[in-house]
Amino acid sequence: MTADESVLLAERTWPEVESALEAGTRTAVVAVGAVEQHGPHLPLFVDTLAGDELAERIAAKLGDALAAPTIRPGCSGHHMEFPGTITIPAETLMDLIRGYCRSLDRHGFEHVVLVPTHGGNFAPVNTVAPEIAHEIDASVIAVADLGDLMDLQNEGLREGGVEYDEPVVHAGAVETAIVLAVEEGLVRTDELEVGHEGEISTARLLSEGFKSITENGVLGDPREGIGEAGEAILERITTAYAERIEAERDAI
């Protein structure tokens, strides 16, 4: 695929973006990721890696969309006890999202789709989306239901042959499977460690931090993750999200 055929906005030149808009491209997909710890076996940019992959897949499935560069870092204060994590205030993230939406609107995109891939970003995304929608001509579509995302992730895990369920997804089987599917070499397979398993208070995670629950930063058992399940997870989310985006665009 040549650069002018890619759905990645950043790989296009400005005349190629202009031509795409003139030819009927009307949607920009913006993932909202993070740079934060994911246990001893996964790199810090897991949520950004997942965002890159989902935005590209969703844009390709929609057929008239481009994937903008994933926003990073995000709101990761509850991971700051683990070195390497970078966090920004919710207000900063929302300002950055406003800048994205205003820019894309000015260039002629009719719809901007926000796809958070990190739990701490869902509230800021859901707060800012309706606000910016009142300020610009483009519609702002937030696909931002954290419970729904985790349900899709667990369903994909089972579809991929893994009979395991994660009440809260972070650095366990789901995310290990996704990284194995996208870039296998990034997984430190000799560092796979079980983390906290079972039900978890998300309120405690956010107020007291991840280390109050898990010493190694892992929730669940990453040893359960396999690449085939990662591919199934990505495809399940892509299909479900693309259908929702199409329905919202049609309703406008």
pLDDT of residue 114: 99
Q: What is the pLDDT of residue 201?
A: 87
Say which DSSP state 68 is in.
P
Round to the nearest angstrom and report the end-to-end CA distance of the chain: 33
Q: For residue 199, give both structure tokens.
A: 């039900």
Phi, psi angle pair for 115, to nearest 5°? -125, 90
Q: Report yes or no: 196 and 221 within 8 Å, Cβ to Cβ.
A: no
**Phi, psi values for residue 68, rounded to 5°:** -75, 160
Q: Cβ distance 86 to 76 under 8 Å?
A: yes
Q: Which CATH class is domain 3-251?
A: alpha beta
> Taking Cα atoms as reference points, which of 72, 65, 71, 76 lies closest to residue 24?
65
**pLDDT given at position 2:** 67
Looking at residue 252, its pLDDT comes to 85
Identify the CA nearest to 70 among candidates 56, 51, 88: 51
* Look-up of token digits 């667990």: 154
Q: Which residues of 117-204 form beta strands (DSSP E)? A: 139-142
The CB density around residue 136, as the number of other CB atoms within 10 Å, is 17
Using DSSP, state whether 195 is helix, strand or coil.
coil
Question: Which pLDDT value is given to residue 199?
Answer: 87
Q: Which residues of the chain have pLDDT under 50?
A: none
